[in-house]
Amino acid sequence: MLLLCGCSESSEGPDGPDGRAATASSPPVIADPAAACQGGKPFSTGSAPYEGPGPHKALGFQLSDYDQEKYIAPDPPGLFPDAWAANVEGTREVFHPSPGPADYQQAQLAVCMSGPRVTEKRAGVCSYGDTFSLVGTNDIGMITARYEFKVFEARTGKLLKAFTMDGAHFCPKKINFKGGQLIAQGTDNIRLEDELRPLIEGAAPPAQ
């Protein structure tokens, strides 16, 4: 589930959803990330512009667009360099579950993760000791999966990059297992970091 937060005032920003420009007397507007991840809509009208040299701060959003009764999603991607994260109100994570107003203000990039897009092909098991003995198993099957990523300028919603990745064998640290579910492959964090590095650490292109 994605949580929405209010935000503090900003003296400038692009037009809000109602077509009026944000002013010093109107606080920046924070969009529903699920809607903003479709493209063409600011994640926050108060976000920092994507310009100049890197690193450019990023916020990540893991969308819950899968059948949660049949599949268990992986843990959010992690282990990115601290300098990449816009999160200033908690742990230094790009994919923070509940970013706050200051995080949106710092963010120059928004990374949207869709999936898992699962298949019926088995890819091993995840073992959880005696945790789920009451439901008859401790070894939960894993299936192959793919993930779609889109990277936007947070302030404008402009699409900067889109790519897909095959899953990798990473078992979630904690799961809510009800019986009968399968675990989707996780993300290859090393490859994901390589895909994001040019946008985050490189210089932003000149404004058109």
pLDDT digit string (tens) for 146-202? 999 999 999 999 999 999 999 998 888 878 777 778 888 888 889 999 999 999 999
Confidence of residue 34 (pLDDT cuts 50, 70, 90): very high
Residue of 43, 47, 38, 40 lying closest to 12 (CA atoms): 47
Mean pLDDT over each residue of the chain, to the nearest integer: 81
Q: How many CB atoms lie within 10 A of CB 181?
A: 18
Residue 141 lies in a domain: no
Residue 101 lies in a domain: yes
CA distance 7 to 193: 29
CA distance 60 to 110: 6
Six token digits for residue 179: 């019986």
Domain that holds residue 94: 33-116+146-166+190-201
Residue 182 lies in a domain: no
Residue 75 lies in a domain: yes
Residue 206 lies in a domain: no
Helix (H) or strand (E) holding 200: helix 189-201
Residue 46 lies in a domain: yes
Share of the chain above pLDDT 70, in %: 81
Residue 56 lies in a domain: yes
Amino acid 90: pLDDT: 61
Residue of 180, 206, 175 lying closest to 74 (CA atoms): 175
pLDDT digit string (tens) for 45-80? 999 999 999 999 999 998 876 777 788 878 888 878
Number of domains in the chain: 1
**Residue 67, Cβ density class (10 Å: 0-12 exposed, 13-18 middle, ≥19 buried):** exposed
Residue of 39, 59, 40 lying closest to 48 (CA atoms): 59
Residue 125 lies in a domain: no
Amino acid 24: pLDDT: 53
* Maximum pairwise Cα distance, the chain: 60
Amino acid 51: pLDDT: 96
